[in-house]
Structure 1
Amino acid sequence: MSDKRQRARVQGSWAKPGAKPASSAGRQPTPGSWNAGPRTYEFHQPADPVRVIPVEKAIEEAGDYEISKGPTGVSRLRLLPGFLPLEEADWMFATLLAELPWSQKTNYGTMGEAYDEPRLTCWYGELPYTYSHSTMQANPQWHPVLITLRQAIEQETSHTFNSLLCNLYRDGKDSIAWHSDDEASLGPHPSIASLSLGDTRVFSLRKKPPLEEKGDYTYAEKLRIPLSHGTLLIMEGCTQEDWQHQVAKEYHDRGPRINLTFRTIYPEPHPSRMDNNGELRQ
């Protein structure tokens, strides 16, 4: 037995080592192999630049704000919180809430569909006012409180106004959708003074996109302005031409708010809105 074990050990010592794998040195890589040699990477500028959605900015402090400047001109806002003293604002709010002839306006969509505007309104002035494909008839008998407010606002803004749209937001469910006050009857670059009474609501603005964006507001500049009791906001310059605004629904408890928007209405489309053929410019 010992001889067999000794022969086994001797035979094992004769065993040839297994063949080593051939060296990869000098081998040509096969097409498409992962280790086809060093590569160089070259940066290519994307055809379309990366765009970032702008952060909504807030305006809360009193002051004059130039919100945009472009081919059409300058868009400006002027914010005056506390334009009315608190006790005076309280009394005016209660009086107008109780005594103005509030009613709900029926508007019409682009396909002719009728819908009730989600707020109450009334219109003062010598001329009717048309928006959203329906017309509000003029009420020439201004309430004495409205006359007092118009005089004070005209003195503050150095603008004159012959008309007034009164809006009553009964609670947080009342609202007004995105729009511009750019009707032909308002003339070019209208100045509008907006006085808020009652609960605070957020007034939002967004800049109109260029024509090539085809109405896509994804990357539009956006502003938010909380309008509190007694605050006056003036929109001037190209604000109506270059921006839209809204008062969105707020799904939590909100009390009533009155918004008075003083403006100037012209009996016919303003001459500067007409082209050489007498047609209204779009």
Structure 2
Amino acid sequence: MADNKRQRARIQGSWAAPPSKGKARGRPTGPGPGSKPPSRPGPNPNAVSMTSKTPETTTSPTTKGQSDCLPQTLTFTETGPIRRIPEPKEIVKDGSYVISVEPGGEARITLTRDFLLPEEADYVFATLRDEIPWAQKQNCIQGQTFDEPRLTCWFGEYPYAYTKVRWEKNTDWNETLLYVKSRIEEKTGQTFNSCLLNYYRSGKDHVSWHSDDEPSLGSKPAIASVSLGDSRTFEMRKKPPPEENGDYTYTEKLKIPLTHGSLLMMEGASQDDWQHQIPREYHDRDARINLTFRTIFPE
């Protein structure tokens, strides 16, 4: 019977000699002092290695202290990659920026922070605040009528309309406004025949996401925006592709602090492919006036 057990153990490859009689359990059984160390057997030419060669394209499992060995660009779940919400990029330096090149073509913005010197900007702000016939228009979105959270005024050779707001032509230009218009045209080489003015009385006043893409503005309109008064953050977000069904969660976003006397130009596909807003703020903000010069075509 004992011979049969030893035969099965040899076949299974796990045979070991039984412990010698008289040895206490747990007591070392190695060679005693003065004995020679056992000789190491040479390699067995018939042995089969249990370690397979890992292909170069295979990624090793993550272990503690080795997480940087794995690619960090995408994380996968059973249903596919996890999409990360992009952080808004902030533009604070003067210059011209190409913010996208598709699908409508090249979209450009140009920031000039000190377009008007501080004393000049102070004068223009105070004059327009006191001389412009500001009005609060009513708008309607999704059947809900509301007072726009800002005051506005329109100057232009033709009427202008957006959503449910309509302005009649107004050629009685304010002289200070004409001065700013001439300065912009001299700097940019563009010409404008109209201006929409916005007066933000505090941080509660704002304008929601929109694009200036009305048909009366023509294709690829150039819009010059001058900021006066307290600084506000101008935000932009890229329109999502059709397969996103209007979901802006993962689109590119920009933040541009607009300071007293600054000029922001939006050109190319900036209205076709992007939206912009001045968000409501929940801390104290003083008044701000925004002048948006544009070219209107007869409808």
TM-score (norm 1): 0.78
1:198 equivalent in alignment to 2:225: no
Tell me which stretches of 4 or more aligned residues in structure 1 moved more than 6 Å. Answer: 41-45
Alignment counterpart, residue 86 of structure 2, candidates 54, 74, 78: 54
Q: In the TM superposition, what are the counterparts of 1:243-262 in structure 2 within 5 Å? A: 243-262=274-293
Whether contact under 8 Å (2:103, 2:273) holds in the other structure is no
Compared with structure 1, are the counterparts of its residues 51 and 143 closer, same or farther at alpha carbon in structure 2 (3 Å cutoff)? same
Report how far residue 77 of structure 1 moved.
Answer: 0.3
Where do 5+ consecutive residues of structure 2 fail to align?
Answer: 1-11, 13-57, 62-75
Aligned partner of 2:267 among 236, 240, 252: 236
Counterpart residue number, 2:142: 110
> Which residue of structure 2 lines up, in the alignment, with residue 163 of structure 1?
194
1:45 Cα offset (Å): 8.1
RMSD over equivalenced CA pairs, Å: 2.0
Alignment of 1:172 onto 2:203: yes
Partner of 1:217: 248
Query: CA–CA distance in 2 between the matches of 1:46 and 1:88?
Result: 61
CA deviations on 1:80-128 (whole Å, 9 max, x unpaired) are 00100110110110010001000001111133x2111000000001111
SS in 2 for 1:239: coil
Give the match's secondary structure for 2:203. coil
Q: Distance in 2 between matches of 1:110 and 1:158?
A: 39
The number of aligned residues is 230
In structure 1, distance between residues paired with 2:227 and 2:194:
17
Equivalent residue number for residue 106 of structure 2: 74
Alignment partner for residue 65 of structure 1, among 97, 102, 124? 97
Query: Counterparts of 1:153 and 1:114 in 2: how far apart (Å)?
Result: 35
Pairing 1:90–2:125 present: no
What is the Cα deviation at residue 71 of structure 1? 3.1
Partners of 1:82 and 1:173 in 2: how far apart? 26
Name the aligned partner's letter for residue 89 of structure 1. A
From 130, 137, 142, the equivalent of 2:168 is: 137
* 1:241 Cα deviation from its structure 2 partner: 0.4
**1:48 CA displacement:** 3.1
Maintained 8 Å contact 2:192/2:295: yes
Deviation at 1:250, TM superposition (A): 0.6
Identity score, percent: 55
Separation in 2, partners of 1:122, 1:172: 19
